[in-house]
Structure 1
Amino acid sequence: MDTSGLADLLAAAGSGQSLSLQHVISAMLLSFVLCSVIAKLYQLTFQSLSYSRSFVHTLILGGMIVCMVMMSMGDSVARGIGVLGALSLIRFRTVVRDPRDMMFLFAALGLGIACGAGMFAVAVTGCVLLSSVIVLLHWAPFATRRRYEAMLRFLVEADNDAARTEVDAVLAECCSAYMLLAMREAVQGDLLEYSYQVRLIDPSYQVDIVKKLEALDSIAEVNLVMQRTTVEL
């Protein structure tokens, strides 16, 4: 077998150069710190329904494990193939319900890869920029579609045209937009039930609109259900 060809093959497969203990400890500790920052931001900006403490731990442990795997592989193709073969035996059946959770997981794994590859500047810079974007998206109204929307229901006396005018006046005063969704008979046709989709000018108006409608003599059983916590998470 040609000696030069064997040398080229070994070079392509990568060298088996071992890392110093100081480098390994530094990379693992850095991945722990950076992934902890991402995990803490996830905890502070969480707005979904089912919070999982184990997922926060997964963000930290996942980054550290990926960092260790990257250092174990080094630049060796043979080690990389072995790692892929070992990971193919593991079945990951956990369902990530929120795409935002998946992005946090990718961020933690990316930081672990950067630390394991020895690119500490990339890991630190990426963590700082990602943290800034996470905080910005959490507090800024970017991509917010619905604010202060609610479902309004009330009963009105049948054949009372003046009541409809009074209701429109109250809605125009408290709402930036409103739309009649449904109207049906109630109490054997003596009353009419109105259902409105309303968008309040300010969240404090949810008390005012109920009080103003209840003050009308022809209005009864006013019910206002805010939809922000269920529609937009």
Structure 2
Amino acid sequence: MLNNFQTFSLDLTSSVGTSTINNSTFFICSVVSLLVGAAIAFSFCYKQGKSKSFATTLALLPVIVQVIIMLVNGNLGTGVAVAGAFSLVRFRSMPGNAKDILAIFLSMAVGLATGTNHLVLAALFTVIVIAGNIVYMILPLGESAENEKSLMITIPESLDYSEVFDDIFDKFTTKAKLEQVKTTNMGSLFKLRYDITLKKGVNEKAFIDELRVRNGNLEILVARKLPDMEKQL
């Protein structure tokens, strides 16, 4: 009985079903998942303004997915149940951009690969995606997210907000779209919200100064573009 207990205590990953996870395999796969996850987190978060929680998620998600895949390996019923549980998952934090979603899917794909013992594939796949990410960041495709702003500006009711700032926008921005108009101060003022993309190298203070001259030095706010910026109006 003592020998049986010692055998059980050593095989922490043994299963009561038909499949068994080997301890050495589990350890090696977990190490690879953690190393590749760390590489993904570094690649997508270094000097890109991402939070520590997001970086931690990218680093640890592969090993979590790996363990789930190992546990359901060979058991169709459990696999269907886990897939159903995944369908109920919702990200409760503020929505990220498309690149954040890419990083999360990459971490999950690595976990799937390591969970099925395709360790070399997981490493090569990660290297290829990270290299592609670096290449597309260098290429002059699209606009930099740093230049995408939300502009909130107050104007007197005497100004026609439909085209009052068109010449200024042409000078300082590549895109300026009026998203919301709101009256305030008993209808004597308008609050406007624009989604704008500043031209590369533009002087933001000079941009605001010209807006101040046009709107009579009323309130102006330029902020990083946020999905719920309209709630601040």
Where on the TM-score scale, by shorter chain, does this alignment land: which range?
0.5 to 0.7
Given the superposition, is the C-alpha separation of residues 55 and 46 from structure 1 closer, same or farther in structure 2, using an over 3 Å criterion? farther
Q: Which of these residues, 90, 103, 110, is aligned with residue 95 of structure 1?
A: 90
- Aligned residue identity for 2:76: I
CA RMSD across the alignment? 5.2
Q: Which moved more, 1:180-189 or 1:118-127?
A: 180-189
Check 1:127–1:187 CA distance in 2 against 1; reply closer, same or farther (3 A cut). Answer: closer
| Percentage of matched positions with identical amino acids | 12
Give, in angstroms, the shift of residue 40 of structure 1.
3.5
- The answer to whether the aligner puts 1:221 opposite 2:222 as a matched pair is no
> Aligned with 1:115: secondary structure?
helix
Q: Matches of 2:26 and 2:110 in 1, distance apart?
A: 15
CA positional deviation for 1:221: 1.7
CA distance in structure 1 between the aligned counterparts of 2:219 and 2:107, rounded to whole angstroms: 45
How much does 1:156 deviate? 7.3
CA contact (8 A) 2:34 2:59 kept: no
Aligned to 1:210: 208
By relative contact order (CA 8 Å, sep 6+), the higher-ranking structure is 1
Per-residue displacement from partner, 1:92-135 (whole Å, max 9, x unpaired)?
Answer: 44303546555434323322332343433312210101222334
> Amino acid of the residue matched to residue 108 of structure 2?
L
> Does 2:126 correspond to 1:127?
yes
Structure 2, unpaired ranges of 5+ = 1-17, 229-233
Deviates further, 192-201 or 220-229: 192-201
Unaligned runs of 5+ in 1: 1-15, 74-78
1:226 maps to a residue whose letter is V
CA change 1:168–1:227 in 2 (3 A) is: same
Give the count of matched residue pairs: 201
Q: Distance in 2 between matches of 1:187 and 1:24?
A: 65
TM superposition shift of 1:207: 1.1
